[in-house]
């Protein structure tokens, strides 16, 4: 399962970087989204895949026993999702405002236009 996730992460990073390097503003937002999803999957895989083993301490035990799910990567992913939504919302508003002013979706044309 880790091999499949590693391939998916590589494809998401590659597609995200490719979309960011395109000249369209819309593709920039798509690339940022793909990079965010790839980063979330990296955090998920680093936390090890453990099925049906919640991080709960039994009544008779003092500490957790192996194997158990690590809750820290899950909390980091939830935080990253919220931050990613904020960044994407800001980028959408910023790019929409730039498009409304210039009526252009191309970075090369934007860089040569006079304000």
> What average pLDDT values come out for the chain (115 residues) when binned by 10 residues?
90 95 88 92 83 74 75 88 92 88 80 66
pLDDT at 37: 93
**Residue 88 structure tokens:** 């994407």
Question: In 3-state terms, what secondary structure has residue 67?
Answer: coil
What pLDDT sits at residue 38? 95
Element (H, E) at 2: helix 2-20
**Under 8 Å CB-to-CB from 29, ≥6 apart: which residues?**
88, 91, 92, 95
- Judge contact between 23 and 107, C-beta under 8 A: yes
pTM for the structure as a whole: 0.77
Phi, psi of 56 (to 5 degrees): -115, 140
Predicted local distance difference test score (pLDDT) of residue 11? 97
pLDDT of residue 18: 96
Q: Where are the alpha helices (DSSP H) in 21-106?
A: 25-46, 71-102
Give residue 23's pLDDT: 83
Domains of the chain by start residue, with CATH: 2-50+70-112 (1.10.287.3510)
């Amino acid at each position: 399962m880790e091999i499949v996730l590693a391939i998916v992460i590589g494809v998401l990073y590659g597609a995200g970087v490719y979309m960011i390097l395109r000249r369209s503003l819309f593709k920039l937002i798509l690339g940022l989204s793909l990079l965010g999803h790839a980063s979330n999957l990296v955090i998920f895989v680093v936390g090890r895949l453990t099925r049906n083993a919640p991080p709960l301490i039994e009544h008779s035990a003092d500490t957790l026993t192996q194997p158990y799910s690590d809750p820290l990567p899950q909390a980091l992913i939830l935080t990253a999702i919220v931050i990613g939504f904020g960044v994407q919302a800001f980028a959408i508003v910023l790019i929409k405002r730039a498009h409304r002013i210039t009526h252009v979706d191309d970075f090369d044309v934007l860089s040569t236009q006079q304000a």
